[in-house]
Amino acid sequence: MIGDIVETKQCQLKDPMDLFHSGQVVKICAPMVRYSKLAFRTLVRKYSCDLCYTPMIVAADFVRSAKARDSEFTTNKGDHPLIVQFAAKEAQVLCDAACIISPFADGIDLNCGCPQRWATAEGYGACLINKPELVQDMVRHVRNQIDNPRFSVSIKIRIHEDLKRTVDLCQKAEATGVSWITVHGRSVEERHQPVHYDAIKTIKQSMTIPVVANGDMKTLKDAENVHHLTGADGVMVARGLLANPAMFAGYEETPLKCIQDWVDIALEHGTPFTCFHHHLMYMMERITSKQEKKVFNVLSSTSAVLDYLNDHYGV
């Protein structure tokens, strides 16, 4: 990581807000546990992704442990603009994490949307949507202590059953200096129910800062439709990009070129086998038969995967 970080320091950090001022819908790769790491970010950037997030990092661990920093965060000079997403519940801890990361990333995002029980039990994630003053305090601390005015501070939220509470949260965050807000259009209890795009539209209409829509976009057409439905300034995609990292470039399913690119990038980055293989399982979901999946999904080494891809797809 240190080599990567030194190299990054010499590169030009970017202002993510420039994307939102470009007049185009900003296409964003979501923070995904285990998956939105450097190698995958490198891949989606080749296919028209404008902005990438790291997986969520627990700020307290990141501040406390050099080992956590080394395992949780790697980057390089091509990995920009980059947002580091933190889970935090104390203003100074988030601020300390932001100060450590600020020379190497273009902004931080506070996770106020993770619905997993462990996160909410610890006071992280989605429970923060019920604590607007704490969110304000955390944003304010970071804004006051990071010197770089181009460093973005954003939040990612879920919605309340009573949308007025969400609008209130967003307006309070905006007043404190949040750069933009990403809205996953489901409540904390909802998992696979339809996304409330009308709620995202209402939030967008009540804000002057950019709003990013998140939830259930599988194709570029879906993303364009959500933009039109909500008026959102950006679209953030998770599972859709896992299934098809070339989605933002307009491909309906993962092209073989993208699979080849993933193999090359993953090997170059020394991606652990399980991660390398899982990404391919996602990417090939739509283009393989049930029988092929049975064979491919139980392969247990990089060489076996490479042989299979070469024999069946010429990759």
Query: Any idea which residues carry the catalytic annotation?
Result: 114
* Phi and psi at residue 47, to the nearest 5°: -120, 50
Binding positions for FMN: 31-33, 85, 184, 238-239
C-beta of residue 213 within 8 angstroms of C-beta of residue 232: yes
Binding positions: 31-33, 85, 184, 238-239
3-state secondary structure of 29: strand
Q: Cα separation of 298 and 277, whole Å?
A: 10
Sign (positive or negative) of CA dihedral 230, 235, 239, 245: positive
* Phi and psi at residue 116, to the nearest 5°: -65, 140
* Phi and psi at residue 52, to the nearest 5°: -120, 145
Q: Cα separation of 84 and 78, whole Å?
A: 15
- In terms of Cα–Cα distance, which of 194, 203, 191 is closest to 163? 203
Q: Cis check for the bond before 81: say yes or no (omega within 30 of 0).
A: yes
What DSSP state is assigned to residue 21? Answer: T
Q: Which residues pair with 107 in a beta bridge?
A: 83, 152
